[in-house]
Amino acid sequence: MAILIDPARWPAHGTVFSHLVSDESLEELHAFARATGVSPHAFDGDHYDVPVSMYEDLVAAGAQEVSGSELVRRLVKSGLRITAAERSSKIEKILHQRFERLFPHTSVLDRDPIFESLIERWSESHRHYHDLTHLMSVLKTIEYLERQGEPMGPFPRAVKLAGWFHDAIYRADPILPPGQDEEDSARLAERVLPELGVPGPEILETVRLIRLTFTHDPHDDDYGGKVLCDADLEVLGRNSGAYQRYREGIRKDFVKVSDERFNAGREKFLRGILARNPIFNTPTGQKRWERAARRNLMAELYPRGRKREA
């Protein structure tokens, strides 16, 4: 566990900047920044940009001096690195290409307004985990599972369409009934997809799959549902650093909820997921993410100092 700082070589605002990161956790990084007077506004997803004038004080406070390449290597290994492709401007371009591939015979005039509306929804300011990065991750994981030979059900495109729409409406409002966001997202897809020329049976399958993301509990013969649910839950099986980013994003999503209520709901979710055997539905998901997911969930449910029930 260490706070790392690279040489001040990045010019901006009339000076040069270093990157300040943690190779263990964002909690550690934020605590160090607060203790040393680094502005919260200097945080950029996985690092703080700090001016050269603070360099010596930060090293004296415990930041470990490393080269730029070493800092990146250790940040990547920690799972905390946000890649260039995950930055919003890059994501939108990639997502646009993916959306086009789903509707190769649809007019741009019909397709692009719907794409732009979806991007606007996924980019809402209150989203921190359920944002464009999550959308991209779900879509990429669906395609990964498809390439691994996992069956996609009678309408493979419907699985991908459900990925696009499953959190299109996302308010994280404690006043709303559980599952309301998923229901409203399904109804949105039901209204919009006819404009893109999607056949009725494929729309029905897409809508059904969107609603399934509330429970993440597909039947044994629901192959499309298995792929979609595994793609949505894949984040649980990432390394500890990436899992922590997910946890922090989820808490920010539910900023309107008190700590007491959030913690109670989170514990219920963790126990519910852990009670499944297995957590993931596809053979690929079980092989790739099951063990790490159980480790992450158990570590969150029983942090150091908290005893497990007998």
DSSP codes of every residue in 205-267: HHHHHHHHTTT----TT-HHHHHHHHHHHGGGGS-HHHHHHHHHHHHHHTTTS-HHHHHHHHH
Quote the pLDDT of residue 81.
83
pLDDT tens string 5-15? 999 988 878 88
Fill in the DSSP letter of residue 20. E
- Residue 243: which domain range? 86-301
Quote the pLDDT of residue 156.
98
Tell me: pLDDT of 25 over 70.
yes
Q: Do 36 and 152 belong to one domain?
A: no
Tell me: pLDDT of 310 over 60.
no
- Could you tell me which residues come within 8 angstroms of residue 192 by beta carbon, excluding any fewer than 6 positions away? 114, 165
Peptide bond before 104: cis, by omega within 30 degrees of 0?
Answer: no
- Could you tell me which residues come within 8 angstroms of residue 37 by beta carbon, excluding any fewer than 6 positions away? 54
In 48-177, which ranges are continuous DSSP H helix?
A: 55-60, 68-78, 88-102, 108-122, 132-147, 156-165
pLDDT tens string 231-245? 999 999 998 888 988
Tell me: pLDDT of 155 over 70.
yes
Structure tokens given for 54: 């603070």
Tell me the β-bridge partners of 3: 22
Tell me: pLDDT of 130 over 80.
yes
Q: How far apart are CA 12 and CA 79, in angstroms?
A: 27
Average pLDDT over residues 287-291: 98
Position 165 confidence tier, pLDDT thresholds 50, 70, 90: very high
pTM of the full structure: 0.75
Quote the pLDDT of residue 306.
58
More confidently predicted of 108 and 279? 279
Q: Do 118 and 63 belong to one domain?
A: no
Q: Do 160 and 248 belong to one domain?
A: yes
Tell me: pLDDT of 70 over 70.
yes
More confidently predicted of 294 and 25? 294
Q: Do 238 and 285 belong to one domain?
A: yes
Backbone angles phi, psi at 154, to 5 degrees: -70, -20
Q: How far apart are CA 225 and CA 227, in angstroms?
A: 5
Q: Do 19 and 63 belong to one domain?
A: yes
* Count of domains observed in the chain: 2
